[in-house]
Structure 1
Amino acid sequence: MKNIYKIYKQLMTDSMKTVIPVLLASTLLSACGGSSTDTTPVDGGPVIRGSKCLGTELGDKTSCVEINSRKAILYKEDNNEKEGIALFLHGSPGEASKVMGIFDAPMIASKQNLVAISPQGLDSTWGWLSNNTEINNDVSDVEYINELLTKVRAEHNVNSDKLYIFGYSAGGFMAYKLACVIPEQISAIVSLAGQYRGSLLACENNTPLAIHHFHSTSDKEVPYNGRTRTSIKSVDQTIQLWREKNACDESISSQEHIRVTSSSSKTVTSIYNNCLASVTLSKMADVPHEANYIGENLYQIYQSIFNN
């Protein structure tokens, strides 16, 4: 019994050596605000491990940006001057972190020396107020995004007004809304499985804007041919709208590209010629709406937008 008691006593002593520091560290972290709730780093400072933004745990290169009580996830590799902003717009239902993952936002930010930012939409049905209407056109989400971009440029060492918009599904609807309302502020948009929504007559501007649209004819959630009852235009109508705005001629060049998911077969890209700004359509084969996209493969297909 004495030997058993000695072993038990030694085990208790050794375990407390481990437990006490852990408890102390946990107490200090709690006192500093390091909980599992949303925490916004001050002045872009280091992120406390375990802090979250929009339900996503933040890493060393991410932070939470808040404006008008709305939050966005920001990714920035370092404090060097950045050459623009990449804006990522999620689908519905969707999350900021999901759309950043689909396009591989860190990869884009690294290759093009950009700040990546992904806000959360508030509309419960569409994610964003993306409908283009001729009367009472609601632009409150456009105004919010404008304020967010102004804040990011001012506080994160962005030395140009370049803006690249990446939208997925309902985020693609919103990308086209931005292309109609603030085209002069946008360098290019990439829309994946999300076309123009609303009245074509409501998009009155004639500012040329680079467009690269990805869509699968197998998409059942957001069909290639659109939906009349929900004001989603077909992909062909969407592309034609920007062919006219960008003064493209009738000729088309085609290229076959790599697949964009592990199970898709190929991607056929149509490039509309002699445009004031590029208009490109990539038809993906055998890709459902929800898919595990390969961000690097998508990038290889649309990367020419950065030359506009």
Structure 2
Amino acid sequence: MTAAAVVMVALACGSADTPSAAVPAGSTSVVKIGGRQVTVHVPGSYDPARPAPLVVGLHGHTSSGTDLEAYLRLTPESDRRGFVYAYPDGSIDERGDRFWNATDACCAFFSPAPDDSRYLSELISTLESSYRIDRGRVYLIGHSNGGFMAFRMACDHAGQITAIVSLNGASWNDPARCRPSEPVSVLAIHSSADETVAFDGGVIDGDAYPSAATTVAQWRDYDRCAGAGRDGPALDLVTDLPAAETSVRAYVAGCARGSTVQAWTINGGTHAPRLGPAFAPAVTNFLLSQAKPAR
């Protein structure tokens, strides 16, 4: 955390309370939203008279919000680029593991399964009522189970979400279970040697999830993109692989309402690749380049 002191602030979803009084600009605090712990970082440049983008980070199965931030290191980007940054904790299952109930494949392995789609939608609404958020620039980024959850949110709450980044996650295996009400821009990053969420698709606890290519194809269809896409310059995002290990393919032509779908493949990468200093700026650039009309 980059702030001085960490404060616990009780905040119910949908309330009119304003944690900005307890979470001043230039600080990081832990708040309670809907009974769950959420860490919120407000950049020093935050001005309540000027709408700021919002980025929500979603951790993987058995992980936590603070673990995700230690991995992605987006707080410096929040300060540099001026977005409010929140990283919540998922529910805890019978084994004591945190998780998100994203799709049938991942990762609610016990009953009853929480309605995390609703919870995160209400969390976003709470943050929007607590800070001056630009509702046309609301973004999600998730790793593994958090990547599945980012796709689920884009399916269920496209009116709230501008763009998502998924690192080694997947969407629904059945494309009919995703009915986005409007386009959402997608950056799907997948490691070719992922040993947990297989690049070519697979099965978790008896339920299938799609391959990286199928996930991208689904979102090209949802966003009505046309054409074969274009390759971009390779990126150097991972420290333990040869330089420029990540290939880039972007789909822009014909995509509805200015949306885009991009597929980044970390060639030789594993499920939790060792991210280098270029990763956070690269994914932040993608997210902040996407915007929807003011709401």
Normalising by the smaller structure, the TM-score range is 0.7 to 0.9
1:119 is displaced (CA, Å) by 0.7
State how 1:45-84 maps to structure 2 within 5 Å. 61-78=27-44, 79-81=46-48, 82-84=51-53
Offset from partner CA, 1:99-128 (integer Å, 9 cap, x none): 223332213312331110011111536711
1:66 is matched by which residue type in structure 2?
Answer: K
Which whole-Å CA distance do the structure 1 matches of 2:216 and 2:282 have between them?
A: 21
1:73 is matched by which residue type in structure 2?
Answer: T
Higher RCO (CA-CA < 8 Å; seq separation 6+): 2
State how 1:121-140 maps to structure 2 within 5 Å. 121-122=90-91, 124=93, 127-131=99-103, 140=115
Aligned counterpart, 1:203: 178
**Secondary structure of the structure 1 residue equivalent to 2:282:** helix
Offset from partner CA, 1:173-220 (integer Å, 9 cap, x none): 000100110011111001111111342211123521100111111111
Which whole-Å CA distance do the structure 1 matches of 2:215 and 2:273 have between them?
A: 23
1:132 is displaced (CA, Å) by 5.6
Aligned counterpart, 2:285: 303
Which whole-Å CA distance do the structure 2 matches of 1:200 and 1:139 have between them?
A: 22
1:233 is matched by which residue type in structure 2?
Answer: P
The verdict on how the C-alpha distance between 1:159 and 1:215 changes in structure 2, with shifts beyond 3 A counting, is closer
1:245 to 194, 203, 222: 222
1:305 is displaced (CA, Å) by 3.5
Q: Which sits farther off after the overlay, 104-113 or 144-153?
A: 104-113
2:65 to 72, 76, 96: 96
Offset from partner CA, 1:138-188 (integer Å, 9 cap, x none): 772122112212222222332544211001000000001001100111110
**Secondary structure of the structure 2 residue equivalent to 1:176:** helix
Aligned counterpart, 1:149: 124
Offset from partner CA, 1:63-99 (integer Å, 9 cap, x none): 1121221110111123423422100000011110122
Could you say which structure has the higher helix fraction?
Answer: 1
Which whole-Å CA distance do the structure 2 matches of 1:272 and 1:158 have between them?
A: 28
Runs (5+) with no aligned partner, structure 2: 11-18, 106-112, 291-295
Aligned counterpart, 2:8: 40
**Secondary structure of the structure 2 residue equivalent to 1:145:** helix
Runs (5+) with no aligned partner, structure 1: 1-33, 48-59
Aligned counterpart, 2:251: 272
Conserved? CA contact 1:129–1:174, under 8 Å: yes
1:286 to 2:263 alignment = no
1:282 is matched by which residue type in structure 2?
Answer: W
**Secondary structure of the structure 2 residue equivalent to 1:283:** strand
Aligned counterpart, 2:231: 254
Conserved? CA contact 1:132–1:203, under 8 Å: no
2:224 is matched by which residue type in structure 1?
Answer: A
Conserved? CA contact 1:259–1:284, under 8 Å: no
Percent identity between the two aligned chains: 20
Q: TM-score, normalised by structure 1?
A: 0.75
The verdict on how the C-alpha distance between 1:163 and 1:203 changes in structure 2, with shifts beyond 3 A counting, is same
Aligned counterpart, 1:223: 198
2:82 to 100, 109, 113: 113
Number of residues paired by the alignment? 256
Which whole-Å CA distance do the structure 1 matches of 2:284 and 2:8 have between them?
A: 33
Which whole-Å CA distance do the structure 2 matches of 1:217 and 1:87 have between them?
A: 26
Which structure: larger Rg?
1
Could you say which structure has the higher strand fraction?
Answer: 2
